[in-house]
Amino acid sequence: MRRAALTGGLAALALVWGGPLLGLAEASFTRHMIVHMGVVAVAAPLLGIGLAGSRLDPSPFVPVLFSPVVASLVDLVVVWLWHVPAMRALVAVSVPAAIAEQASFLAAGLVLWLACLGGPAAAGPRREAAGAFGLLLTSVHMTLLGALLALAPRALYGTGAVTCFGVSLSPAEDQQIGGVVMLLVGAAVYTAGGLALLGRVLSPSPAAGDGLR
């Protein structure tokens, strides 16, 4: 399971960073958002699943950083910062800024998923409950940003028409579609992860079930 998850996570990174999307992402906000979601909502959770609980899991050794709530707040700052219009404009013209953006997306996403999925096994349900809260909290700020981008009355990024997958879009339309991608992919993945952990917390343990017989 871990090996498959790690392989899937690395393959997702290779696809979004090494494929045709990344080079075109800055011309289209929708493409940028697909790359972003590929990193934080596909690659990061798969890598987190693959590393959580293994000897390579750093979360037991830096508990302050890998607190689910702290990790969620760090993710919030990173994601919202890079979507400030001035930062988006910088990324569009600066390769180092684009590299820093993508690296910080992966780092923040991986820290978050490891904070919520990893840690010492002895922590048990309390750790899983904290992880569920961290992922659901992240889904809230992801939903808010996605809704802001999708419902904004004017374009926050760019001034000219862009072409996305062969379709010509105005900056406002491109931004709206990108916001919907964030809502449908990002918010949904974090919500699903949080609910899955919450379900594990609320489900009776085998020992408790044996005691009731």
DSSP 8-state symbol, 160: S
147-178: pLDDT as tens digits: 999 998 888 887 777 777 777 888 889 899 99
How far is it, in rounded angstroms, from Cα 52 to Cα 119?
7
82-117: pLDDT as tens digits: 999 999 888 888 889 988 999 999 999 999 999 988
* φ and ψ of 86, to 5 deg: -65, -35
Query: Tokens 């689910």 map to which residue?
Result: 68
- Per-residue model confidence (pLDDT) at position 143: 94
- Per-residue model confidence (pLDDT) at position 121: 54
- Per-residue model confidence (pLDDT) at position 209: 44
**Which regions of 56-199 does DSSP assign to beta strands (E)?**
162-164, 167-169
DSSP 8-state symbol, 53: T
How many percent of the chain have pLDDT more than 90? 44
DSSP output for 83-113 = TSHHHHHHHHH-HHHHHHHHHHHHHHHHHHH
**Which regions of the chain does DSSP assign to beta strands (E)?**
162-164, 167-169
Sign (positive or negative) of CA dihedral 136, 77, 44, 55: negative
Q: Which of 30-39, 51-60, 136-145 has the highest mean pLDDT?
A: 136-145
Q: Give buried/exposed letters for 49-70 (b at 16+ CB in 10 A, else e).
A: bbbbbeeebebeeeeeebbbeb
